[in-house]
Amino acid sequence: MGRTTRKRRMPLATKVMAGTAALALGGGGLVWAGFYASAHEKDNGHNRTRSAAAQVATIQCPDVGQKLRNVPRGARAGVDRELARLDQQITEAYARLAATRQAQAGDSAFVRNSILGPLKSKRTAVLDRIGTNIRRVGGQAPRGLDRFAGCKGMGADQPNDGNGNGGQGDGGQGQEPDPEESQAPGDNGNGAAGPVAADFVDITTVEPNGFPGPNGLAADGDTGSTGTFTTVCGVNENDLHNSDNLIVAPGVDNGAHHTHDYVGNQGNDAFASDDDLAAADTSCQNQGDRSTYYWPVLRLQDGTEEFDAGDLGGGAEGNVGKILKARQAEIRFVGNKQGDVVAMPKFLRVITGDAKAFTNGLANANTAWSCTGFEDRQLTDKYPLCPDDSQVVRTANFQSCWDGQNIDSANHRDHVAFVQADGSCPGGFQAIPQLQVRLVYDVPTPTVKNGQVKNPYAVDGFPEQLHKPITDHNDFINVMDEELMDEVVRCINSGEDCE
């Protein structure tokens, strides 16, 4: 099967922004280099900052989708489209931020007046339409939605901690990066300022720490339901890629703004219905598993122009370089430490991790990066630099508690939960098989020297997330037939290891 990615048509406004950003940030980041040089002057042997705008590396906006808990089913399609519009607005605002660094250097109010102000106005209109969608079907829109309209400038060093820290108000104040110690954003050719040298760490220098918790806590153990079920679905040999997100943005082309690898179900795009998924082909050896397993691609930023170099979701939104196909994609389901598991409902949707964790905060982050031979050392906010005989590993342990009723929820999270520290589920939730995905990649080790990184690798993401490792995530829709799901549950509860 050939590559099935649809060609993305680029809206005029986005095309202009992408072209401007490419001119500004291509060719080795010349605008950035000139900007840093002009933003500092030597004054009696010390650097004197001429502009405070330099540290506004990205844009932090409230994630409205996570704020909506009670959206009537009849309004969800319309609300999801409006939420996708908010994402598009942030993408366009970020492109303008990246393309206007010289103007920012000469005007400390430029970001506030020319980027954040217009963005707030656009977001206010969308939030009003979200309320209208909810009220149109008899629902009650949350009060004060417009309080989520405003966005902030944010630095590139630390993720938002979830309490608003990390943002820098309407224009940004604080310490400006030293041009001799900080890598100029855009040097990797993606116009998205990342990754940078500080995003990487030598795995051999990390102390053993096991898996991060509680979100990364594995559910299997020596007690309870100790069996496993492994499904073999390949590593996307069919080259199935698109930048849709059927869970979060159904019916919206390019809803993810980054490219996914897909294994299992071969019919997953933004417009697939449950019936479409049930009738689609599968790459899984067991044809009873038509589930869709998908994750953002990993790329090597070595100057290679991929098939999507000019497309939305790809190079037009800062996701550049060679797509690295996983060497291994291990997909297994495990049990619960406290007792038996129950069957997952068909078409259950689960997202683990947060594609916007850098600006959202860490509440939903669930990342685990490591290297083969060093998997007792797990990283959450760094990419590992692996020894020559070791491969990069991405691991995702999914939520394994279900509310017993819903296959999805308004914010796509409330219907499932992680196990608690003792392995039990929160009150009212039932234990289901925990999905664990382990991806192994042959990645040429980037060179980090003098605060610069050469030929880095990075996970695809929303452009304003700066390709930070904390934004890694994984998605799953259960499309196993009833007979196979019963077999999964039987194997796990009886302590067997099955395929």
Each residue's pLDDT expressed in tens, for the chain with a length of 499 residues: 344 555 454 443 444 344 434 433 332 222 222 223 233 333 443 333 333 434 789 999 999 999 998 899 999 999 999 999 999 999 999 999 989 989 999 999 999 999 999 999 999 999 999 999 999 999 988 889 999 999 999 988 767 666 555 544 443 333 333 333 334 444 455 554 689 999 999 999 999 997 644 444 455 556 789 999 999 999 999 999 999 999 999 999 999 999 999 999 999 999 999 999 999 999 999 999 999 999 999 999 999 999 999 999 999 999 999 999 999 999 999 999 999 999 999 999 999 999 999 999 999 999 999 999 999 999 999 999 999 999 999 999 999 999 999 999 999 999 999 999 899 999 999 999 999 999 999 999 999 998 889 999 999 999 999 999 999 999 999 999 999 999 999 999 999 999 9
At 147, list the tokens: 């309080």
Identify the pLDDT of residue 188: 59
Q: Are residues 440 and 339 in the same domain?
A: yes
Domain that includes residue 463, residue range = 197-498
What's the rounded Cα separation, in Å, for the pair 14 and 26? 17
What's the rounded Cα separation, in Å, for the pair 159 and 194? 14
> Is 186 inside any structural domain?
no
Residues 6+ apart with CB under 8 A from 68: 79, 130, 142, 410, 411
Half-sphere exposure of 181 (CA within 13 A, CB side): 6
Identify the pLDDT of residue 1: 39
Identify the pLDDT of residue 13: 42
Identify the pLDDT of residue 270: 96
Is 243 in a helix, a strand, or coil? Answer: coil
> Is 182 inside any structural domain?
no
Q: Are residues 141 and 243 in the same domain?
A: no
Q: Are residues 61 and 126 in the same domain?
A: yes
> Looking at this protein, which amino acid is placed at residue 214?
P
Q: Are residues 77 and 218 in the same domain?
A: no
Where is the domain boundary, 95, 129, 154?
154
Q: Are residues 262 and 147 in the same domain?
A: no
> Is 404 inside any structural domain?
yes
Q: Tell me which long-range contacts 442-450 makes (C-beta under 8 A, separation of at least 24).
A: 442/324, 442/327, 442/391, 443/298, 443/300, 443/324, 443/386, 443/391, 443/392, 444/300, 444/302, 445/385, 445/386, 445/387, 445/388, 446/200, 446/385, 448/197, 448/200, 448/385
Q: Are residues 144 and 201 in the same domain?
A: no
Q: Are residues 461 and 347 in the same domain?
A: yes
Identify the pLDDT of residue 14: 45
Strands, E assignment, 7-102: 40-43, 46-49, 58-60
Where is the domain boundary, 98, 120, 154?
154
> Nearest to residue 87, comparing CAs of 131, 151, 135, 172?
151
Q: Are residues 278 and 364 in the same domain?
A: yes
Q: Are residues 333 and 479 in the same domain?
A: yes
Strands, E assignment, 442-479: 447-449, 452-454, 457-459, 473-477
> Is 185 inside any structural domain?
no
Q: Is the peptide bond before 159 cis (omega within 30 degrees of 0)?
A: no
> Is 173 inside any structural domain?
no
Where is the domain boundary, 127, 154, 181?
154
Query: How many domains does the structure of the chain reveal?
Result: 2
> Is 310 inside any structural domain?
yes
Q: Are residues 206 and 140 in the same domain?
A: no
Q: Are residues 134 and 279 in the same domain?
A: no
Identify the pLDDT of residue 406: 97
Q: Are residues 79 and 222 in the same domain?
A: no
For residues 401 and 418, the answer to whether their CB atoms sit within 8 Å is yes
> Is 330 inside any structural domain?
yes
> Is 409 inside any structural domain?
yes
DSSP string, 305-355: --TTTTSTTTGGGT--SEEEPPSEEEEEEE--SSS---PPPTT-EEEEE-T
At 177, list the tokens: 């990066």
